[in-house]
């Protein structure tokens, strides 16, 4: 009879389950999608109760964690993996690396590592055949404990894989603080749209992993399109149903015999370079990057192609609120420049490569976003080469938006001659409204022409006070913001704005998170006779 065991039943039968092999291990291959060879496998815990049938990790692991018993099961899994390898070694059969999971709770057991190390010695398994997976979320709250654990494992010669990378927000910070040997990216965290935000994050992670010399394994890959996408951005290691479900020891043994295997390698082997500093949290560079009063970015340059890898908050602000960080990272900088400006910028990169010193330039860029439409701005960049890897260069850039300054000097010539800039004739004011905080961020044009600050608190009150939204529509406009918070998808209406009551078409479009909760609204106001 299949039956989901209760908490009491699980706890009561754990010892017996370990002793009698009701808790056992399945192995899921990790495969190089390019060569079709196996690079290793993950050991996954299974529990088959003689009477109640299969119990699922998602059901019983939280129970064992809660009662602080998971470490016993994990040690049993580690021992099974060692036994499996010993068996094959004795028979002279081929072996692959087996990764065992170490949970956050195991880390809290000070003797956990000693215990598994004793087991490894008992079975006399070469340490290079065993990897340990720790999840990214273990790092949340207690970085010291995790980095101590990592250090201990490294001292003993174990390679460590960071599991479920990308599930937390602190991801990129965790990377620079924990020198793991392999990164596992779970595709299920980026469900569906690889062309959208998910793809951008994955791409950024794979790029950074390359700079860190760390191999990436994409996990939870079910479709060949996902595997092909990962391959196209330089990540060829795959674990998932596409290649194989987790297999019991016998079937997995056959799978090893069937597959050829190969060692795991970083995505690209790099020449030694100076980018390390950027991942060292104490370095001056990181400090500058995070605290620099202005905008800063890190980008790579390869055969004439530029890819933005990282931007700080101020960078987004400097370029105007119209674009989100994801939009900016996704945008090919060359598409924002005309031929002449492209040349100026690229020449500066060449100069920075030669001089190995800071070089600067002023370049006009036309940024396009879904809220503001086009906005033309002049950006002064200070650029410095960070390092070189093969044909790939890594640059650090600080930016200043000097549009206002420039316009005052040189108004007509630049906007009329060099650019087909429709913006001035099609005057759009745009802003973002963050629902949880009631903060409003105006676009660069709003800031320039209406003299607004970068952020308005307690929106829409400041606009009502200033009579931009005049008294007779104040309550209706306030009510719009209530409706947005309740999840209305969009709102639009012609309002007569300012003390002069000029008719504007005002629109709001709400953005929702994965759970359908409203996050942020994008708004615009367009003069009616201009539409
Ligand atoms: P995990 O470490 O992220 O393990 C990968 C999970 O994804 C496994 O689920 C695996 O069967 C599943 N999976 C693999 N490929 C695919 C795919 O293409 N599509 C989908 N939808 N799923 C796929 P499983 O075995 O149910 O394990 C769930 C979680 O339970 C694991 O996630 C891990 O956090 C935990 N777990 C499993 N075994 C152990 C263990 O021995 N020790 C510890 N501490 N935790 C374990
Ligand atoms: Ca895992
Ligand atoms: Ca995982």
Give the number of whichever ligand sits closest to the CA of residue 99.
2
CB of 132 closer than 6 angstroms to any ligand 1 atom: no
For 237, residues 6+ apart whose C-beta sits below 8 A from its C-beta are 30, 31, 32, 33, 39, 215, 216, 217, 218, 264
The pTM of the full predicted model, rounded to 2 decimals, is 0.60
Angle subtended by helix axes 224-232 and 197-211, to nearest 10: 50
- Which of 27, 28, 40, 44 to probe ligand 1 with, by most ligand atoms within 8 A of CB? 44
Are the beta carbons of 439 and 453 closer than 8 angstroms? Answer: no
CB of 69 closer than 6 angstroms to any ligand 1 atom: no
Look at the alpha carbons of 265, 270, 271, 275 in this order and tell me if their dihedral is positive or negative.
negative
Are the beta carbons of 330 and 347 closer than 8 angstroms? Answer: no
β-partners of residue 41 are 29, 98
Q: What is the pLDDT of residues 423-464, one digit of tens each?
A: 444 577 878 899 999 999 887 778 878 888 888 999 999 999
pLDDT of residue 312: 75
Tens-digit pLDDT string for the chain (531 aa): 688 999 999 999 999 999 999 999 999 999 999 888 999 999 999 999 999 999 999 999 999 999 999 999 999 999 999 999 999 999 999 999 999 999 988 998 999 999 999 999 999 999 999 999 998 777 766 678 888 999 999 999 999 999 988 665 445 556 667 889 999 988 877 666 666 556 666 776 776 676 667 889 999 999 998 898 888 777 889 999 999 999 999 999 999 998 877 777 654 433 334 455 555 545 555 555 555 456 788 888 988 999 887 777 778 878 776 677 777 888 889 999 999 999 999 999 999 999 887 788 999 998 877 667 778 888 989 888 877 767 778 888 888 888 876 665 554 443 333 333 334 445 778 788 999 999 998 877 788 788 888 889 999 999 999 999 999 999 999 999 999 999 998 898 999 998 889 888 898 888 888 788 898 888 888 887 654
What is the helix (H) or strand (E) element at residue 130, kind and residue range? strand 130-135
Are the beta carbons of 59 and 9 closer than 8 angstroms? Answer: no
Q: How far is CA 440 from CA 462, 482, 521, 526, in A?
A: 10, 14, 9, 18
Q: Are strands 373-389 and 392-401 parallel, antiparallel or unpaired?
A: antiparallel
CB of 161 closer than 6 angstroms to any ligand 1 atom: no
CA distance 146 to 168: 15
CB of 99 closer than 6 angstroms to any ligand 1 atom: no
Q: What is the pLDDT of residues 38-84, one digit of tens each?
A: 999 999 999 999 999 999 999 999 999 999 999 999 999 999 999 99
Q: Can you give the C-alpha Rg of the chain in angstroms?
A: 28
Q: How close is the Cα of 202 to the center of ligand 3, in Å?
A: 15
CB of 246 closer than 6 angstroms to any ligand 1 atom: yes
Q: How close is the Cα of 42 to the center of ligand 2, in Å?
A: 7
CA distance 389 to 381: 23
- DSSP, res 331: S
How many CB atoms lie under 10 A from the CB of residue 472? 10
What is the helix (H) or strand (E) element at residue 145, kind and residue range? helix 143-156
CA distance 127 to 452: 61
Atom of ligand 1 nearest to the CA of 239: 15
């Amino acid at each position: 009879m299949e039956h989901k065991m209760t908490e009491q039943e699980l706890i009561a039968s754990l010892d017996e389950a370990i002793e009698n092999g009701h808790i056992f291990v399945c192995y899921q291959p990790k495969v190089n999608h390019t060569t079709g060879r196996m690079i290793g496998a993950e050991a996954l815990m299974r529990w088959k109760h003689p009477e109640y049938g299969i119990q699922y990790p998602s059901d019983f692991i939280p129970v064992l964690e809660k009662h602080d018993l998971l470490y016993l099961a994990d040690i049993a899994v580690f021992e099974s993996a060692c036994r499996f390898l010993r068996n094959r070694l004795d028979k002279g059969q081929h072996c692959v690396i087996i990764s065992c999971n170490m949970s956050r709770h195991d880390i809290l057991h000070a003797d956990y590592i000693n215990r598994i190390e004793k087991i490894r010695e008992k079975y006399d398994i070469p340490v290079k055949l065993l990897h340990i997976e720790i999840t990214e979320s273990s790092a949340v709250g207690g970085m010291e404990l995790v980095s101590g654990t990592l250090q201990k494992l490294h001292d003993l010669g174990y390679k460590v894989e960071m599991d479920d990378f990308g599930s937390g927000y602190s991801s990129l910070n965790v990377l620079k603080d924990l020198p793991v040997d392999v990164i596992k990216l779970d595709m299920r965290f980026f469900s569906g749209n690889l062309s959208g935000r998910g793809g951008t994050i994955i791409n950024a992670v794979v790029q950074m992993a390359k700079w860190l010399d760390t191999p990436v394994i994409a996990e939870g890959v079910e479709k060949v399109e996902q595997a092909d996408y990962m391959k196209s951005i330089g990540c060829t290691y795959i674990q998932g149903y596409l290649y194989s479900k987790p297999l019991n020891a016998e079937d997995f043994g056959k799978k090893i015999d069937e597959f050829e295997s190969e060692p795991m390698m970083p995505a690209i082997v790099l020449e030694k370079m100076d980018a390390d500093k950027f991942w060292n949290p104490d370095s001056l560079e990181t400090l500058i990057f995070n605290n620099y009063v202005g905008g800063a970015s890190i980008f790579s340059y390869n055969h004439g192609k530029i890819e933005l890898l990282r931007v700080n908050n101020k960078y987004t602000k400097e370029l105007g609120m119209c674009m989100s960080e994801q939009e900016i990272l996704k945008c090919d900088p060359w598409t924002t420049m005309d031929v002449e400006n492209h040349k100026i910028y690229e020449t500066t990169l060449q100069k920075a490569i030669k001089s190995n010193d800071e070089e600067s330039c002023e370049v006009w860029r036309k940024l396009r976003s879904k809220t503001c439409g086009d906005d033309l701005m002049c950006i002064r960049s200070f650029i410095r080469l960070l390092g070189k890897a093969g044909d790939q260069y890594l640059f650090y850039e600080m930016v200043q938006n000097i549009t206002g300054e420039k316009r005052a000097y040189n108004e007509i010539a630049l906007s009329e001659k060099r650019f087909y800039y429709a913006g001035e004739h099609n005057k759009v004011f745009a802003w973002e409204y963050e629902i949880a905080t009631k903060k409003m961020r105006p676009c660069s044009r709003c800031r320039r022409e209406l003299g607004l600050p970068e952020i308005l608190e307690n929106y829409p009150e400041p606009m009502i006070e200033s009579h931009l939204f005049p008294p007779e529509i104040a309550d209706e406009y306030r009510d719009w913001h209530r409706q947005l918070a309740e999840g209305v998808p969009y709102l639009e209406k012609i309002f007569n704005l300012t003390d002069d009551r000029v008719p504007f078409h005002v629109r709001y479009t709400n953005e929702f998170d994965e759970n359908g909760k409203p996050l942020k609204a994008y708004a615009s106001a367009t003069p009616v006779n201009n539409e």
